[in-house]
């Protein structure tokens, strides 16, 4: 849990004119021990731009207590998620050796994977990014009226930070905190963003969103808005999504809020096409996991032996992605291996879709109140705001 915070100012309580009160649903924490954060606070001009991604997350530079006044535009970086090579290899091998092999989707996001995902968001089939952007464009001022301006904007899974940056004029945050597991990608992105917004203090937080959210002292006290766009919450199953919302609620104080993008249930064909595009970018994104596994495990996966599969599980309301073996192969890694038969799959990702009333109920079960949502005219996507 974060340290002591001053009592925040409550946001305005007016209801946005075009927001939809999230429909009411029908009736029906353990802490992890983590290494202490290592911190470096520097002027934006001091920072080099090149990426230095190797494997997993990069350890930041040695501690430096130099700090600049916020008005000059301070960049602080705090690394909390440190690589544990042995634990990472153990997790991967355990997943590969299960009867139905699986790899966590977090292994998509090495440096190449992060860039491939950005390319996916530009594809015509991938509607979530542009639909969400349209909702923000049309309703940003209403969201700011409800959520309040001048809060600390905490961007969960920030990536290239573009979605949050488009909201800066409406939300006018007192500080921007970008959290992502791909620390080097985040570092270079924030250097550029700070140059565009030199008066806005920023913090880059390298952290694992699956762990308790332990905000460091570099994150200002006061009212906070937790921002989780892109329907990334759909990568968790409903119980995992509830656990994430519980962690956010635990990290929040009265007056704080959440602003979350959620992909809604829709036509099966549209959903499958969004995860299996004609250009094959999503297939490359999925198969890049094997490149990552080869690097981490010293494995010998051959990309040509595997094809990308995306299916919609209608009962679960979920898109599931797999890598399917084209022929019988034997894969080896240091200390082990496994035979895969033709047609056998490795499960790499789930993406759950919601009805508005179901996600509203999930927010309320986690202790958030007064959820409202904004949607596009087609009802493809929703952005929820709820208060603590």
pLDDT tens figures, 302-360 = 999 999 999 999 999 999 999 999 999 999 999 999 999 999 999 999 999 999 999 99
Name the 3-class secondary structure at 138: helix
Name the 3-class secondary structure at 378: coil
Handedness of CA 204, 206, 211, 212 (dihedral sign): negative
Rg (alpha carbons) of the chain, rounded to whole number: 21
Using the 8-state DSSP alphabet, how is residue 230 labeled? T
What are the chain's domains?
69-85+119-266+354-387 (3.40.50.150), 267-352 (no CATH)
pLDDT digits (tens, 9 = 90+) for 166-199: 999 999 999 999 998 766 667 888 999 999 999 9
- Terminal CA-CA length for the chain: 16
Q: What is the pLDDT of residue 226?
A: 98
Can you tell me the distance from the alpha carbon of 200 to that of 194, in angstroms, rounded to the nearest whole number? 7
For residue 52, is pLDDT > 50?
A: no
Q: Report, as an integer, the average pLDDT of 92-115.
A: 93
Can you tell me the distance from the alpha carbon of 241 to that of 245, in angstroms, rounded to the nearest whole number? 6
Tokens of 153: 């904007």
Distances (CA, A) of 79 to 32, 60, 218, 291: 16, 6, 12, 25
Can you tell me the distance from the alpha carbon of 278 to that of 122, in angstroms, rounded to the nearest whole number? 13
pLDDT digits (tens, 9 = 90+) for 200-212: 999 999 888 888 8
Q: What is the pLDDT of residue 77?
A: 86
User: Which strands form 369-375's sheet, in the order they lie side by side?
Assistant: 20-21, 369-375, 381-387, 257-263, 224-228, 152-156, 175-180, 202-206, 74-79, 38-43
């Amino acid at each position: 849990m974060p340290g002591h915070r001053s009592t925040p100012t409550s946001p305005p309580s007016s209801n946005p004119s075009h927001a939809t009160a999230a429909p009411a649903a029908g009736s029906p924490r353990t802490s992890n021990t983590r290494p202490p954060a290592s911190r470096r606070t520097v002027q934006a001009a001091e920072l080099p731009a090149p990426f230095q991604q190797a494997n997993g997350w990069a350890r930041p530079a040695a501690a430096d207590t130099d700090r600049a006044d916020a008005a000059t535009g301070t960049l602080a970086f705090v690394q909390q998620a440190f690589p544990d090579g042995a634990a990472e290899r153990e997790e991967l091998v355990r997943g590969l050796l299960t009867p139905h092999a699986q790899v966590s989707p977090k292994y998509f996001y090495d440096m190449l994977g992060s860039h491939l995902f950005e390319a996916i968001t530009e594809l015509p089939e991938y509607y979530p990014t542009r639909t969400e952007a349209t909702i923000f464009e049309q309703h940003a001022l209403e969201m700011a009226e409800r959520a309040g301006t001048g809060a600390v904007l905490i961007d969960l899974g920030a990536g290239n930070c573009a979605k949050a940056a488009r909201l800066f004029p409406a939300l006018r945050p007192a500080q921007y905190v970008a959290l992502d597991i791909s620390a080097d990608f985040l570092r270079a992105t924030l250097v550029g963003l700070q140059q565009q917004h030199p008066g806005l203090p920023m913090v880059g937080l390298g952290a694992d969103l699956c762990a308790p959210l332990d905000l460091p002292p570099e994150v200002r006290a006061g009212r906070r808005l937790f921002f989780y766009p892109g329907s990334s919450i759909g990568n968790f199953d409903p119980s995992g999504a509830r656990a994430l919302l519980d962690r956010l609620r635990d990290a929040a104080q009265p007056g704080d809020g959440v602003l979350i993008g959620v992909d809604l249930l829709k036509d099966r064909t549209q959903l499958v096409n969004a995860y299996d595009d004609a250009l094959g970018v999503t297939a490359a994104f999925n198969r890049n996991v094997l490149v990552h596994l080869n690097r981490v495990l010293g494995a010998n996966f051959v990309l040509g032996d595997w094809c990308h599969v995306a299916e919609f599980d209608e009962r679960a309301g979920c898109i599931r992605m797999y890598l399917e073996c084209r022929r019988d192969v034997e894969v080896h890694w240091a200390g082990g291996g496994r035979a895969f038969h033709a047609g056998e799959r490795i499960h790499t990702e789930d993406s759950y879709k919601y009805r508005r009333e179901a996600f509203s109920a999930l927010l309320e079960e986690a202790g958030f109140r007064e959820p409202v949502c904004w949607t596009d005219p087609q009802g493809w996507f929703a952005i929820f705001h709820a208060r603590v």
